[in-house]
Structure 1
Amino acid sequence: MRKYTVLFFLIMFMIGTDTFLISPLLPTLQVQFGVSTAIAGWMLGAYTFGSAVFALIAGPLSDGWNRRTVLLSGLLGFSVSTIMCGFADSFWTMCLFRLLAGISAAFTAPQVWASIPAVMPAPKISKTMGIAFAGLAAAQALGVPIGSWLATAHWSVPFWTIGITSLLLAPVAFYLLPDIKPAARLGGEQVSILRRYIPLIRSGKARSGFLAYLLLHLGSGTAFAFAGKWMYDRFGLPIGQIGTVMMFLGFGSLLGSMISSHAARKLGNVNTVALGMAMLMVLYAVMPHLPGLPVVTMVYLVIFATLGVIFPIVMGALTSLNASIRGTISSLANSTMNGANTLGAWIAGMLYVQFNGYASIGIFSAVCLALSLGMFLFGGVLGKETTRKPEQSVSSS
């Protein structure tokens, strides 16, 4: 079973590295392609837009297909698209290849979350989920800084490295993973894509939960999108040093994901998320006004450690809404996250250029977190009733 754990960790590590890579490269790519600060964020947004839109389709489809086939197809598309990013010769071709990479990731990442319960024994599912999530955190801690350091040779090198490594993972996944065929449909009935979303649409708890999840990622994603640009402008950091700071962000996220379950057991889901998000509101608001890079780095570490604690708790609450459509829920969560990051990249560019730089971004992020916390608390998503019994199943809707 360890082979599956390692495979899922590596897949999420590659996807996470590619997802976060653009932020520290943004100043370099902006100069390379000669684009303004206001639209440079779309090199990040193109990826998240593709992932957000196609995840809405990929999740329901994958619930009716062989997950192994879907994962392999997505991984191959992700590899080729990322390699092509290294050959982009203009802003628009980069956006196109990033869009294709995001679409491919939309078919790949949710299959990891949905495949774990199918291939792992029940006692190890939770631990494996945590390790797979740690792959995303490790991508920030190690993958993004390594990519930034590779970019000191040439900006295209990290894209080629990620793409080729992901391509090598495809045959490994082919030989290790068994066929993961969908469960038999009730009466052999074909379930439409829209019908798989009906239980979530009808559930007030699900609606409030996903809206809160959207606001959580909108706040954190907007702040992250221009973090590299702000450090370049404020402290004059070259790309290699930006990558070093990003490493602390990743270590914070990794640390948070490791202590998340302990914090939830100690304080409870509601108290853990409430205290964490309240602290984030303050830190996002004061971040742009901090005097020096060492203090900024330590605050970023605390921010991402807190996010690392919060995200697994929230994701666990969402996936427990309906056990019969985990693929759909996982993909909808992925779509929500990337949709928020896409919108955040656009908002960050507008706020940074037209208003008070990174200070306005900090205030915007704090407001999003406050609204998100309100939705989580009043929607009851994090309470015990979330896991007491599943919502109405697809087959009965």
Structure 2
Amino acid sequence: MKKLLVLFFSVMFVIGTDTFLISPLLPLLQEEFHVSTDISGWMVSSYALGYALFALIAGPLSDQWNRKKVMFWGMVAFSVSTFLCGTAQSFWVMNIFRFAAGISAAFVTPQIWASIPILLPKEKILKGMGIATAGLSISQMLGLPIGSYLASAHWSIPFFCIASISLLLSFFILYFFPDTIPTQINREPVSFLKQYTNLLNNSTSQLAFLGYFVFQLGNFAAFSLLGTWLADQYHFTISQIGTVMLFLGLGNTIGSLWGSAIVQRLGKNHAMSTGIFLLITLYIVLPYAPSGTYIKINLMVIFAICGILFPIMMGSLQTLSQTSRGTIAALANTLMYTGTTLGAVLAGFLYGKTHFFILISLFTSLCYLIFVCLFKASGILRSSVK
């Protein structure tokens, strides 16, 4: 079991690092490909768009195919497409390879979320979910800064490193991951449309998923342009941006690991309301940061709060159905990456036209406010739909 947990953590760490790698590299890539700020966000969006579109297919398939084979070939494709990103000679070629990397990742991560409840003992399931989630959090704390520092030598090096590690993990999947076929899962094949129709057949599900999408829209609108804003406003180098990302990841990891104690003390409703209020306040004052130290502290607190709120959201969504957990994870991932796509494009447009980060902060704050209203109106925080 320990080998599986290490494998789950490692896969999520590598994919998490690749997912957010472009943001701190945007200033370098803008210069490399000679593109303006208002369209540079597409290098973030193309990966997210590929993931968002194909997660809708990969999620339901994770309940009907041998997950080991899907995960292995998905990881191999992820390695190849990420390697090709490092060889891109133009802006649009980079977008094509990032799109392919997003498609590949969409066939990997749903297998992990769907496999944990099956491969681990019941009493270890929550631990397994936590370790997989920690892989994503720590990828921000360590993976992104390391990638930024490597990129200071050349922007392509992080892509080549991630590709090499991903290929190695592919063979670990082949060796350590057990075969998991539909007969073991006791699930009858069901059409994709039927699975999603059954899941979204009530107002609780509809409002909850809509709220989750709005949250991610605002979340990634701010995140995608952080590197560009820091370079423009404070003249941060790529290494300094990497250091900011280190504090960001540290905050997220702290929130993920110790947030449950805070939620138990406050309750889900109170923790959600308080967290959203603090996030809005911190984002509104962020553009007026007097120093780099303030920026690091502000972002660390912001992402610590997000680390506390994210498990509440995902845990609540998982209560919507006990028979479609893979579909729930797939839809949540699709909404997250759709939010990433639209958020990055909107942020790039707003900042490219005005160079006022406060507009992005206000947009993110509005999204957070709409999210908490929708999520609470759905009733998902106080009830479970079977």
Deviation at 1:21? 0.5
1:126 equivalent to 2:109? Answer no
**Alignment correspondent of 1:115:** 115
Contact 1:70 1:107 in 2 (8 A): yes
Letter in 2 for 1:95: N
Equivalent residue number for residue 284 of structure 2: 285
User: Contact 1:60 / 1:327 at 8 angstroms: preserved in 2?
Assistant: yes
Q: Which residue of 1 aligns with 2:86?
A: 86
Matches within 5 A, 1:1-397: 1-183=1-183, 190-355=189-354, 357-383=356-382, 385-386=383-384, 390=386
- The answer as to whether partners of 1:150 and 1:157 remain within 8 angstroms in 2 is yes
Please tell me whether the aligned partners of residues 54 and 106 of structure 1 are also in contact (alpha carbons under 8 angstroms): yes
Matching residue of 1:394 = none
- Structure 2 CA distance for aligned equivalents of residues 63 and 120 of structure 1: 16
One-letter amino acid of the structure 1 residue matched with residue 254 of structure 2: L
Identity of matched residues, %: 48
SS at structure 2 position matched to 1:202: coil
Instruction: Report the CA distance between 1:189 and its aligned residue.
Output: 5.7
Q: What is the CA distance between 1:356 and its match in structure 2?
A: 5.3
Query: Structure 1 315/261 Cα, relative in aligned 2: closer, same or farther at 3 Å?
Result: same
What TM-score comes out, normalization by structure 1 length? Answer: 0.95
1:104 aligned partner, one-letter code: S
Query: Which deviates the most, 283-292 or 225-234?
Result: 283-292
Corresponding residue for 1:393? none
Structure 2 letter corresponding to 1:58: A
CA distance in 1, matches of 2:292, 2:183: 53
> Offset at 1:143?
0.1
Counterparts of 1:189 and 1:333, CA distance in 2: 23
Contact 2:62 2:114 in 1 (8 A): no
Q: Distance in 1 between matches of 2:285 and 2:115?
A: 41
Contact 1:78 1:101 in 2 (8 A): yes
Q: Is the 8 A contact 1:260 1:313 kept in 2?
A: no
How much does 1:182 deviate?
2.1
The 3 A distance-change label for structure 1 pair 356 and 66 is same
Aligned equivalents of 2:188, 2:285: Cα separation in 1: 55
In structure 2, C-alpha distance between the alignment counterparts of 1:222 and 1:30, rounded to whole Å: 18
Shift >3 Å, 4+ stretches: 183-186
What is the alpha-carbon distance in structure 1 between the residues aligned to residue 75 and residue 335 of structure 2?
21
Deviation at 1:343, TM superposition (A): 0.3
Corresponding residue SS for 2:87:
coil
What 5-or-longer segments of structure 1 have no aligned partner? 391-397
| Aligned counterparts of 1:229 and 1:355: Cα–Cα separation in 2 | 13
SS of 1:350's equivalent in the other structure is helix
Instruction: State the Cα distance separating 1:264 from its structure 2 match.
Output: 2.0
Aligned residue identity for 1:8:
F
d(CA) in 1 for partners of 2:185 and 2:225?
46
CA RMSD of aligned residues (A): 1.3
Supply the distance in 2 between the matched residues of 1:169 and 1:152 (Cα, whole angstroms).
26
Shift of 1:355: 3.4
Question: Closer, same or farther in 2 for the Cα pair 1:66/1:355, shift >3 Å?
Answer: same
Q: Distance in 2 between matches of 1:245 and 1:26?
A: 15
1:99 to 1:144, Cα distance in 2 relative to 1, 3 A = same
> Matched residue pairs, number?
386
The one-letter code matched in structure 2 to 1:105 is A
Taking structure 2 as the reference length, the TM-score comes to: 0.98
- Counterpart of 2:283 in structure 1: which amino acid? Y
